[in-house]
């Protein structure tokens, strides 16, 4: 090969920043002159305040573009009734969350901060510490949930009680060519969407249109709905390393890389492939999974980024941003401290239409009845039927299930509360003063799959409520024991807390905090039949290929 001339390029060269910002403060920043240069000096308080404000905003507000996409689903005549119902519920949730009391999702996430500090920006060098203090202040003051587990030994963990540590990555780089600016990206990444980040180590064989689209259909289908679609989907092909491909996918799902070039060059920079974005988006609309319970809108949009690669490697990374689309850009300049302007009045995206105009018929289910009567009612309806639940639910998730399994292992009886009531897989955020509950949306059902057969054989977990698809073993257990799995809408945790959950009390294991067994009273709690007692699973109807893919 001929030796090329030196030609430097950023791997991901960003275009102009078109973000609309709002001023947080003009204090804590100043220009200083030294060595014939002008520097920007940034006080620790400016970093702390910016971080605390950013965590507040991304916990309660969404981008206007995201809200407009939800409204588009409602207005699209090709949307299914379930698509429109989910979109409406998410808009209602956003309107409640914007009140600043209940966060939009009960999983208030890991705080992730990425910053680029210009060479003429001066700090005390403890930037990560000051940013962490801002994270601490936001999570301890607001009605957010602590999700970070500190490893004490290889096997023992303890919740840190303040949601630290945060993931903080800082770079020495002049953002957009401005040496006196500090640019940051703030994200809150919940477990559901973080768990849907995937890396596949492929080869050059995947680098043709037919093979790539077939590969992506298989992998995108496997995402399921546990991470609360509609998604912002990102696909990255190539990468100088596996970890760089995954990181690029995360940034792309936040639309952070929207301004990179749309064509490649011999210099090797990454680029967006707009044609592939359109092709993959079309694919997602034909899957039939829709906005959680059947339809067209599995995704709001798609980003496809092609990166340079080592000739012997071809990583492909996939990531999503979920219905809790939590990120915001920020900048510190000589003029002050600025944060991306998010939508504080999401109610303006709500349509005039009512629930009845947006969805199929809904079946009222009285959970106050004995379990045999509840099962007899549910067996009348097919999968994908929309339900409205009223009455008591028991709440239990990972650790509680493990404790009950241990009880059975030791010869104990299935707790009566799991025999008498439907079980909701969830864990609440903090309860604000004057509220019955904090944000209290469903968690991913699949984590409890291994318990279902055993619990149902012992008379428990006959009706389960959570988000996402289940494994074949759950379908088989429900068919064998006469049970049901109901899907709850993933995403509208604030609306559920305000409108549907009327009472919350601890039943068992109070020492587990949000992982305790709870009993809650709900009114008009939305759900869908996903797995029934006949061996039917809504998601098994969505597993076959939908596209006949070839060259155009």
Alpha helices in 334-471 (DSSP H): 355-358, 371-378, 398-409, 416-420, 449-457
Q: Are 80 and 295 in contact (CB under 8 A)?
A: yes
Q: What is the pTM of this model?
A: 0.85
pLDDT of 430 strictly over 80: yes
Give the pLDDT of residue 400.
94
Q: What are phi and psi of 479, to 5 degrees?
A: -65, -40
Q: pLDDT category, 363, cuts 50, 70, 90?
A: very high
First to last CA, the chain: 33
pLDDT of 298-349, one tens digit each?
Answer: 999 999 999 999 999 999 999 999 999 999 999 999 999 999 999 999 989 9
- H helix and E strand count, the chain: 15, 23
* Nearest alpha carbon to residue 191 among 409, 442, 450: 442
pLDDT of 502-536, one tens digit each?
Answer: 999 999 999 888 889 999 999 999 998 999 999 99
Within 8 A by CB and 6+ apart from 167, the residues are: 110, 111, 112, 113
Q: Are 329 and 341 in contact (CB under 8 A)?
A: no
Q: What are phi and psi of 466, to 5 degrees?
A: -170, -165
- Distance between alpha carbon 394 and the CA centroid of its chain, in Å? 24
**Using alpha carbons only, how large is the chain's radius of gyration in Å?**
24
Q: What are phi and psi of 416, to 5 degrees?
A: -60, -30
Q: How many CA atoms lie within 13 A of 76 on its CB side?
A: 22
Query: How are beta strands 149-151 and 157-159 bridged, if at all?
Result: antiparallel
3-state secondary structure of 280: helix
Polymer length in residues for the chain: 552
Give the pLDDT of residue 489.
82
Q: Are 262 and 244 in contact (CB under 8 A)?
A: no
Q: Hey, what are 353's tokens? A: 């239409």
Compute CA distances 453 → 104, 417, 425, 473, 478, whole Å.
33, 17, 16, 7, 8
| Euclidean distance between CA atoms 208 and 206, whole angstroms | 6
pLDDT of 93-144, one tens digit each?
Answer: 999 999 999 999 999 999 999 999 999 999 999 999 999 999 999 999 999 9
Q: At what angle do helices 127-141 and 44-60 cross, to 10 degrees?
A: 40
Torsion sign over Cα 7, 8, 10, 13 = negative
Q: What are phi and psi of 117, to 5 degrees?
A: -105, 120
Q: How many CB atoms lie within 10 A of CB 258?
A: 13
Which H or E run contains 470?
Answer: none
| Euclidean distance between CA atoms 468 and 418, whole angstroms | 21
Q: How many CB atoms lie within 10 A of CB 126?
A: 12
Share of the chain above pLDDT 90, in %: 80
pLDDT of 150-189, one tens digit each?
Answer: 999 999 999 999 999 999 999 999 988 899 999 999 999 9
Within 8 A by CB and 6+ apart from 202, the residues are: 215, 314, 315, 316
């Amino acid at each position: 090969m001929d030796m090329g001339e030196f030609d430097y390029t950023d791997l991901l060269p960003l275009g102009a920043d078109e973000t609309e910002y709002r001023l947080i403060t003009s204090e804590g920043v100043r220009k200083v002159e030294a060595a014939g240069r002008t520097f920007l000096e940034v006080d620790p308080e400016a970093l702390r305040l910016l971080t605390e404000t950013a965590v507040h905003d991304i916990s309660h507000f969404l981008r206007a573009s995201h809200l407009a996409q939800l409204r588009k689903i409602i207005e699209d005549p090709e949307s299914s009734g379930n698509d429109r119902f989910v979109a409406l519920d998410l808009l209602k949730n956003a309107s409640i969350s914007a009140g600043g009391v209940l966060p939009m999702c009960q999983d208030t996430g890991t705080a992730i901060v990425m910053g680029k500090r210009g060479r003429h920006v001066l700090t005390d060098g403890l930037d990560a510490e000051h940013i962490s203090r801002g994270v601490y202040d936001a999570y301890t003051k607001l009605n957010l949930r602590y999700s970070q587990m500190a490893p004490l030994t290889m096997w023992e963990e303890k919740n840190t009680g303040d949601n630290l540590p945060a993931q903080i990555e800082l770079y020495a780089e002049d953002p957009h060519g401005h040496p006196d600016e500090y640019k940051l990206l703030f994200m809150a990444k919940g477990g559901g969407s973080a768990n849907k980040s995937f890396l596949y180590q492929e080869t050059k064989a995947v680098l043709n249109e037919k093979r790539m689209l077939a590969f992506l259909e298989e992998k995108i289908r496997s995402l399921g709905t546990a991470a609360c679609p509609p998604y912002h989907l990102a696909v990255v092909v190539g990468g100088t390393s596996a970890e760089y491909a995954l990181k690029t996918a995360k940034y792309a799902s936040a639309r952070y890389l929207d301004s990179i070039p749309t064509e490649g060059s011999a210099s090797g920079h990454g680029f967006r492939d707009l044609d592939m974005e359109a092709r993959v988006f079309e694919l997602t609309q034909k899957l039939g999974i829709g906005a959680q319970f059947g339809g067209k809108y599995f995704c709001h949009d798609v980003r496809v980024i092609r990166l340079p690669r080592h000739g012997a490697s071809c990583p492909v990374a996939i990531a999503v941003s979920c219905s809790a689309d939590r990120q915001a850009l920020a900048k510190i300049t000589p003029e002050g401290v600025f944060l991306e302007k998010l939508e504080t009045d999401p109610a303006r995206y709500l349509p005039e239409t009512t629930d009845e105009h947006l969805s199929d018929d809904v079946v009222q289910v009285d959970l106050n009845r004995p379990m045999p009567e509840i099962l007899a009612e549910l067996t009348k309806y097919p999968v994908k039927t929309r339900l409205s639940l009223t009455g008591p639910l028991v709440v239990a998730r990972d650790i509680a299930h493990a404790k009950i399994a241990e009880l059975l292992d030791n010869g104990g009886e299935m707790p009566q509360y799991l025999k008498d009531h439907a079980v909701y897989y969830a864990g609440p955020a903090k309860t604000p003063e004057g509220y019955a509950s904090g944000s209290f949306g469903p968690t991913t059902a699949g984590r409890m799959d291994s318990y279902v057969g055993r619990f149902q054989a012992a008379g428990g977990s006959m009706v389960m409520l959570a988000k996402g698809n289940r494994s074949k073993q759950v379908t088989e257990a429900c068919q064998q024991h006469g049970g049901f799995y109901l899907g709850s809408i993933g995403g509208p945790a604030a609306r559920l807390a305000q409108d549907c959950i009327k009472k919350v009390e601890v039943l068992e294991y109070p020492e587990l905090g949000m992982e305790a067994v709870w009993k809650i009273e709900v009114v008009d709690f939305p759900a869908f039949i996903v797995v029934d007692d006949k061996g039917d699973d809504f998601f098994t109807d969505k597993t076959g290929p939908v596209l006949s893919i070839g060259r155009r």
